């Protein structure tokens, strides 16, 4: 017990964050520029284009992937969001989700491939991912604010870290589950390790990888709402306003808009994964 009194874990973590803030300022500024540029581009596109045109595109995508009933839900759901005067906030939230997911997949899929090829890497990555998935979501906001201050950029950073584990885990799992016969057949035809990965393993593992993409999107949407507490904007900010101002109407409408967006994104990504599974069979 006497030894444990000298272990100041919180103090060590604070010292680490302070050191990174001072010595990593250039890196964090560069990340801010890149993230803010991509996020601003998506927001400008989704908000500038007329809402009915965006709804038509969303409906066409739903029809092509998930069928007519999902297309009808898209029309009804997004028109309801317009009627509630939450279209701009919904597009801001969607922009945050898209930006976070892009960066999460850029990091997560290659890391999952690496872990599938090296058992030592998987042994290192697994406890880190376990820690990331069990850490309360609100804790991610603390270093994000310290490194990137308030605004949408720290919201994106916190969201991509929070939503990263499924992309890594399911990419690793999908490639490891590829039948040995497929690898042996590729080797017998003289394929290189790179060709085996691109032309044999990834296509077979694609349904599992897409399941990871689906989970990444769902986690990012939940975290984006929480990120409204640090000025990320979007529907999370409206939910926070509803709570702080005791506005039941605003809180309920914002929550309903989040549900509509979540169902749309979930069904689209699930349909893509199912279609890939059918093509494989």
Q: How many other C-beta atoms are found inside a 10 Å radius of the C-beta of residue 21?
A: 13
Q: In angstroms, how far is CA 193 from the centroid of its own chain?
A: 29
Confidence of residue 96 (pLDDT cuts 50, 70, 90): very high
Residue 199 has pLDDT above 60, yes or no: yes
Summarize pLDDT for 148-192 with one digit per residue, the tens.
Answer: 888 889 899 989 989 999 999 999 999 999 888 888 888 888 888
Structural domains of the chain, with CATH: 17-280 (1.10.3720.10)
Instruction: With beta carbons less than 8 A apart as the criterion, state whether 259 and 252 touch.
Output: no
Helix (H, G, I), strand (E, B) or coil at 121: helix
Residue with tokens 């890594």: 168
pLDDT for residue 1: 47
CB 277 within 8 A of CB 204: no
Query: What is the biggest distance separating any 2 CA atoms in the chain, rounded to whole angstroms?
Result: 67
pLDDT tens for 3-56 read 555 566 777 777 877 888 887 788 888 888 999 999 999 999 999 999 999 999
Q: How far apart are CA 186 and CA 10, in angstroms?
A: 51
């Amino acid at each position: 017990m006497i030894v444990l009194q000298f272990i100041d874990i919180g103090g060590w973590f604070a010292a680490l964050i302070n050191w990174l803030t001072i010595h990593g300022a250039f890196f964090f500024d560069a990340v801010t520029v890149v993230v803010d540029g991509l996020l601003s581009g998506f927001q400008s596109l989704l908000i500038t284009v007329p809402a009915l045109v965006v709804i038509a595109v969303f409906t066409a995508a739903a029809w092509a992937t998930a069928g007519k009933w999902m297309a009808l839900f898209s029309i009804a759901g997004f028109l309801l969001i317009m009627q509630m005067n939450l279209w701009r906030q919904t597009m801001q939230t969607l922009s945050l989700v898209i930006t976070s997911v892009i960066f999460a997949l850029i990091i997560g899929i290659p890391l999952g491939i690496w872990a599938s090829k090296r058992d030592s890497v998987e042994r290192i990555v697994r406890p880190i991912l376990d820690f990331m998935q069990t850490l309360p979501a609100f804790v991610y906001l603390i270093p994000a604010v310290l490194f990137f201050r308030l605004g949408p950029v720290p919201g994106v950073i916190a969201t991509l870290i929070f939503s990263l584990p499924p992309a890594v885990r399911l990419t690793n799992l999908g490639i490891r589950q590829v039948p040995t016969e497929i690898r042996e057949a590729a080797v017998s035809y003289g394929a290189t390790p790179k060709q085996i990965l691109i032309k044999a393993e990834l296509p077979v593992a694609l349904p599992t990888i897409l399941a990871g993409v689906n989970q990444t999107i769902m986690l990012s949407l939940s975290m984006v709402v929480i990120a409204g507490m640090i000025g990320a904007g979007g529907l999370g900010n409206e939910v926070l306003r509803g709570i702080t101002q005791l506005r039941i109407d605003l809180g309920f409408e914002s929550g309903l808009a989040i549900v509509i967006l979540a169902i749309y994104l979930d069904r689209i990504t699930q349909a893509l994964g199912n279609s890939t599974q059918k093509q494989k069979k």
